[in-house]
């Protein structure tokens, strides 16, 4: 097998045409000095128009921070220490705040993890929609078209417009609020929507519904979807392309087929796959991953996953493994890449 060191060139070639979102060698830090942590470290990835792109990893791996960085909204004390994010080729960090605000919502929008609390509790959903439409007359010159479009979105997320329009947040169930949040995020017709853990706080039936709805929105609106999850089962069902993070670093990235079908797989990803409950094969037993994600302020030497890795060898505790590509499939593991003949691109 021949592989290449996944420098920026290799990563940018990971899709077919011009990426809609590019993350270029991004490092996001919290704090400064000895106590500072790098929640995202030297991450590069390219999202193509039409992708359903999953950012995967356990809690604390840096997925949400990366998702926020995609919209340049990392909350302080977080800051971009290195690298940049580009939307349609434009570096977000170089935009004036006014221009960035314009981009957010209109071109790229976000459904937050705590979507359940994303509403103003004292005004109806309909009034909140009116406020958004008034603030952005450039999208619908006639607000009646905006209202009609929101009703269409509610139908796509399988909610009754007549009920939702006049409802207060407190009158909606958790699953309904999640779907209203998705409809609101799409109101200004963005080309990309980023969703932080869209299925996590939901019961199994609502999770199923949200997966079906996201597929439908992708198909019918042509919107590019980037979503954060710790659940590889959701990835298998929904994503076209996947990036797996561990302790702030990208450890594997590829198409969903490469991640699930290729025998060349990062031991961490293997462990995540093993943690998916299988009714047929294991009688609903899961094999949890032993140990914990390391404290970012006190990382082990070498590969960050080595202390938990069943395949770890001496080299794994000595040097951080490079991210190597076999075609477009990137893996950062000394052991898995042992037979990969590395060439420079
Ligand atoms: N506001 C903050 N202040 C200081 N450190 C932070 C802050 N937010 C995140 N971090 C650091 O970044 C790390 C990654 O957090 P992040 O929320 O991005 O992870 P995650 O993979 O999305 O986990 P979760 O699913 O639990 O949200 C945290 O473990 C923490 O060290």
User: What is the arithmetic mean of pLDDT over 263-291?
Assistant: 77
Q: Are 125 and 14 within one domain?
A: no
Q: Are 84 and 118 within one domain?
A: no
37 Cβ closer than 6 Å to some ligand 1 atom: yes
Round to whole Å and give the CA distance between 69 and 341. Answer: 34
294 Cβ closer than 6 Å to some ligand 1 atom: no
Round to whole Å and give the CA distance between 15 and 6. Answer: 14
Helix axes 174-186, 204-221, angle to 10 degrees: 20
Give me the number of domains the chain comprises.
2
Q: Are 43 and 129 within one domain?
A: no
**Average pLDDT in the chain:** 89
**Distance between Cα 35 and ligand 1 center (Å):** 14
Q: Are 249 and 221 within one domain?
A: yes
323 Cβ closer than 6 Å to some ligand 1 atom: no
Mutate to test the pocket of ligand 1, among 41, 54, 57, 63 (most ligand atoms within 8 A of CB): 63
Q: Are 124 and 141 within one domain?
A: yes
Q: Are 67 and 122 within one domain?
A: no
- pTM for the model stands at 0.91
Q: Are 78 and 182 within one domain?
A: no
pLDDT at 114: 67
User: What is the arithmetic mean of pLDDT over 117-126?
Assistant: 87
Q: Are 164 and 259 within one domain?
A: no
We report the CATH number of the domain holding residue 310 as: 3.40.50.300
Q: Are 338 and 277 within one domain?
A: yes
Round to whole Å and give the CA distance between 73 and 40. Answer: 14
The model's pLDDT over 78-90, given as tens digits with 9 standing for 90+, comes to 999 999 999 999 9
Write out the residue range of the structural domain in which residue 81 sits: 2-107+190-343
60 Cβ closer than 6 Å to some ligand 1 atom: yes
Q: Are 320 and 202 within one domain?
A: yes
**Distance between Cα 302 and ligand 1 center (Å):** 22
Q: Are 102 and 217 within one domain?
A: yes
The model's pLDDT over 11-36, given as tens digits with 9 standing for 90+, comes to 333 445 899 999 999 999 998 887 88
User: What is the arithmetic mean of pLDDT over 45-64?
Assistant: 95
The model's pLDDT over 211-250, given as tens digits with 9 standing for 90+, comes to 999 999 999 999 999 999 998 989 999 999 999 999 999 9
Q: Are 183 and 194 within one domain?
A: no
pLDDT at 7: 41
CA trace torsion 57, 85, 29, 227 (10° rounding): -20
The residue among 171, 189, 207 that closes a domain is 189
The residue among 167, 189, 211 that closes a domain is 189
Residue 135 pLDDT more than 80?
yes
The residue among 159, 189, 219 that closes a domain is 189
The model's pLDDT over 58-75, given as tens digits with 9 standing for 90+, comes to 989 999 999 999 999 999
């Amino acid at each position: 097998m021949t592989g290449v060191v996944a420098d920026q060139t290799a990563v940018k070639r990971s899709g077919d045409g011009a990426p809609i979102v590019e993350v270029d060698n991004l490092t996001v830090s919290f704090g400064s000095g000895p106590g500072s942590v790098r929640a995202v470290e030297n991450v590069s990835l390219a999202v193509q128009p039409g992708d359903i792109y999953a950012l995967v990893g356990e809690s604390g791996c840096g997925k949400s921070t990366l998702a926020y960085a995609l919209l340049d909204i990392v909350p302080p004390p977080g800051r971009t220490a290195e690298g940049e994010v580009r939307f349609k080729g434009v570096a977000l960090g170089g935009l004036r705040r006014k221009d960035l605000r314009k981009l957010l919502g209109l071109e790229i929008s976000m459904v937050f993890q705590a979507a359940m609390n994303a509403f103003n509790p004292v005004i109806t959903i309909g009034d909140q929609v009116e406020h958004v439409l008034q603030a952005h007359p450039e999208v619908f010159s006639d607000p009646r078209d905006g209202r009609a479009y929101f009703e269409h979105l509610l139908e796509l997320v399988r909610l009754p417009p007549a009920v939702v329009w006049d409802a207060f947040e407190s009158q909606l169930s958790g699953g309904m609020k999640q779907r209203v949040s998705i409809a609101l995020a799409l109101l200004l017709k963005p080309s990309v929507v980023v969703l932080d853990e869209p299925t996590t706080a939901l019961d199994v039936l609502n999770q199923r519904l949200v997966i079906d709805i996201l597929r439908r929105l992708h198909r019918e609106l042509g919107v590019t979807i980037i979503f954060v999850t710790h659940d590889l089962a959701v990835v298998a069902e929904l994503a076209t392309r996947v990036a797996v993070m561990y302790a702030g670093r990208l450890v594997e990235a590829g198409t969903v087929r490469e991640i699930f079908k290729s025998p060349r797989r990062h031991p961490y990803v293997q462990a995540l796959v093993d943690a998916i409950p299988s009714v047929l094969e294991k009688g609903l037993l899961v094999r949890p991953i032993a140990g914990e994600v390391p404290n970012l302020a006190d990382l082990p030497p070498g590969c960050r996953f080595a202390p938990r890795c069943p395949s770890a060898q001496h080299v794994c505790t000595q040097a951080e493994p490079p991210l190597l590509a076999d075609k477009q499939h990137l893996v950062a593991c000394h052991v898995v890449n042992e037979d990969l003949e590395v060439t420079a691109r």
